[in-house]
Amino acid sequence: MRVLSGRLFFNVIDSLYLTPTWRDDAPDRLAKVTERYKVKGADLLLQSYTDIDPDCYYWFTRTWTDQSELWFLPTLTGDIGAEPAIDEIRSINHGLGFVPIIWIRNLPGGDGIDGACTFRAAIETSIEIDYQLSQAGRGLKYSSDPTLLIKEPATSDSEIVKGAGNALVVSEKGDAKLLEIGGTASAAVIDYVRILREFALESVHGNRTHADRLTAAQSGRALELLNQGLIWLADNLRVSYGEGGLLPLLQMALEATQKFRISVFGQVVTPVEGHTRMTLRWPRWYPLSADDRLKDAQAIATLVNAGQLSRETAVTALAAMTGVTDVTEEINKIMQDDMTA
């Protein structure tokens, strides 16, 4: 996160060259994040660096802390143990009181820093699919150029030229035929690859069904059951990138209003004191069909008429489905309609 001219800017940084350090007293908060990678001297010269050999490689180093963003002067990769000096010109002091970076772990597990890979279980299967497809391609190329087989004794020892205009003359006991790869071999490979694809999708909670096999429109609930594995994976990612990413990012933006004069769409935001409790409200995975909405409405109406559910609770349950944002106002409108009816 950056604050420039009273506006907030966010960008995603490749974590390949980043090393996070967590606070000892708060393991869920960053103490600093260090960025370090090799760069050619010629590239540094283009960035207005001086005293740089364009043919050598240098270490580029940058560190984010809770008070500043420190840039360091490039050091030669061969200078082992050399401490880089701080680049006073490019370094800035933001004074936010927190590291302006949100470190998101992909999935539970892994190495503890980046989290587990989403597609790790399907990597070996994908390699096997690539190998089988390459072999099938070679087989198709071989079958397009069949091998000539001549059974001895033959009457001619001269060089044989294949072609429609060249006839082969063999003896009475001789024979000549073309050896080619049958299409069943390639078909078997394709079927095997199709099975591997389904196993790979299943291992990463993907959907194994084919769209061309769906003969009619399915309800929202049926689609949820059909894609249950994929929904489980997406639920985990919602936790990682929602509660572990979006919410801390929003909290960081609110804390920045206490240090800087932030404006959104030209209007200055009122500083927010302390931590604000926020939650994320996710929409349904699949929109309800007309039949689904009718069944929900009938079930809720039955409960209300039986006295087992209040009208306010019923309107609240139907608010998300019907697009109602203010439940109290909607109840008042319903009461007015009852009075005028």
Cis peptide bond upstream of 153, omega within 30: yes
Q: Specify the pLDDT at position 164.
A: 55
Which among 134, 135, 126, 169 is positioned nearest to 150, based on CA atoms?
Answer: 169
The per-residue DSSP string of 199-246 comes to HHHHHTT-----GGG--S---HHHHHHHTHHHHHHHHHHHIIIIIIII
User: How much is the pTM?
Assistant: 0.70
Q: For residues 15 and 72, what is the distance between their CA atoms, to the nearest angstrom?
A: 19
pLDDT in tens, the chain (341 residues): 988 888 899 999 888 899 999 999 988 899 999 999 999 999 999 998 988 999 999 999 999 999 999 999 999 998 877 788 999 999 999 999 999 999 999 988 877 788 899 998 899 999 999 999 888 887 777 666 677 767 775 555 556 666 655 666 667 677 777 766 666 777 888 889 989 998 898 888 887 766 556 555 566 777 777 788 888 899 999 999 999 999 999 999 888 888 888 888 888 888 877 667 888 888 888 877 788 788 888 999 999 899 888 888 888 888 877 778 888 888 888 888 888 86
For residues 31-48, b (16+ Cβ closer than 10 Å) or e, as one string?
ebbbbeeebebeebeeee
CA 324 to chain centre: 32
- Span 57-87, pLDDT tens digits: 999 999 999 999 999 999 999 887 778 899 9
Q: 112 by DSSP, 3-state: which?
A: coil
Rounded to 10°, the helix 327-340/311-322 angle is: 110
Provide the residue ranges of all domains of the chain, joining segments of one domain with +: 2-76, 119-154+177-203, 290-340
